[in-house]
Amino acid sequence: MKALWLGALSLALVACGSSGDDNGNGDGGLFDVTAGDSPFGGGDTGDNGGDGSGGDGGCYAPVDMYIMQDRSGSMGNDCNIGSGTNSKWCHAINALSGYFNSQQAAGNAAAIQFFPLPNHTSQLCATGTGYDVAAAPTPPPAYTTLPTNTFDALLNSENDNGGGGTPTEAAIRGLVNFTANNRRGGRVTIGILVTDGDPNGCDENLTDLSNLLQAHFTATTLRTYVIGMTGADDGNLEQIAQGGNAPLHPDVVGTLTGACGTSTAPCRHWNVGDGNPEGFIQALAAIEESANGCADGGGTINPN
């Protein structure tokens, strides 16, 4: 079954330097992020993230991503990679494994943590302590270069029964602290929050949570992407995602439909339903491409 998911991944994922695309402009990739038909409009930073490269093909800016994956009890039954267990948790770990193992992700890098932490307490809400340290890799380095299967053992060993509700504030504070403190020159750093529920525990005020991400973006120009699964309220996630400053996208992106869920398109958060690996992978692929610092509207390239 894993082979089927990886097969879908090979169709969905995009390498920054790939050739040919589906719209005839020859710039490579799943979408044209440099052309007028880009699905990532409105609110982009523009000018290739300020690096002045002009998107001429001589620029190379792979993505470093810190993924914060919800593992609250509502994610459903545990499984190992390759299992056909029909749960949001099982779908999520298979999609993440598929992405991490894909040759199409070559050159990018990832780190991952899960929330809530087993030892979560209310004292961690205001600091994000523990959430700002990756479960993998164990630094240094801060990120693991892709493709790799080194995350698989961790994905198999973790489970969905973390307890402690859904402390989104602690998760966000961990995301912003980690990404701010682990920027590598010549690369684009992003945070990705994946959740299947509304905030439950810590500060649950949506404006406060959005403001945390906005303050992070204002201080660092680093984007935070928000991915919602079944159980999360699209409107609430969209409000949080506004502060993350990820680019707007339509409801249909590549083969992914319903990417805005019940929110009005275009939107900033991503809806992947129950986390079916093919759709989840498609969203990760689109996020990767929208973060490409060598394209107009891409993320900011870290200074060397």
- pTM of the full structure: 0.84
Of 243, 234, 248, 255, which is closest to residue 297 (Cα–Cα)?
Answer: 248
Residues 51-96 pLDDT 10s: 434 344 578 899 999 999 999 888 988 899 998 788 999 999 999 9
Q: What is the DSSP string of 224-242?
A: EEEEE-BTB-HHHHHHHHH
pLDDT > 70 fraction of the chain, expressed in percent and rounded: 80
Strand residues in 52-180 grouped as ranges (E): 63-70, 109-115, 144-145
In DSSP terms, 228 is beta-bridged to: 195, 271
pLDDT for position 193: 98
Of 144, 99, 98, 93, which is closest to residue 114 (Cα–Cα)?
Answer: 93
pLDDT for position 296: 80
For the chain, the domains span 38-290
**Whether the Cβ atoms of residue 203 and residue 209 lie closer than 8 Å to each other:** yes
State the first-to-last Cα distance of the chain, in angstroms, to the nearest integer.
Answer: 42
Which one is the CATH code of 38-290: 3.50.50.60, 3.40.50.10490, 3.40.50.1220, 3.40.50.410?
Answer: 3.40.50.410
Strand order in the sheet with 223-228: 144-145, 109-115, 63-70, 188-195, 223-228, 270-271
Residues 257-271 pLDDT 10s: 999 999 999 999 999
pLDDT for position 164: 64
Provide mean pLDDT across the span 156-175: 87
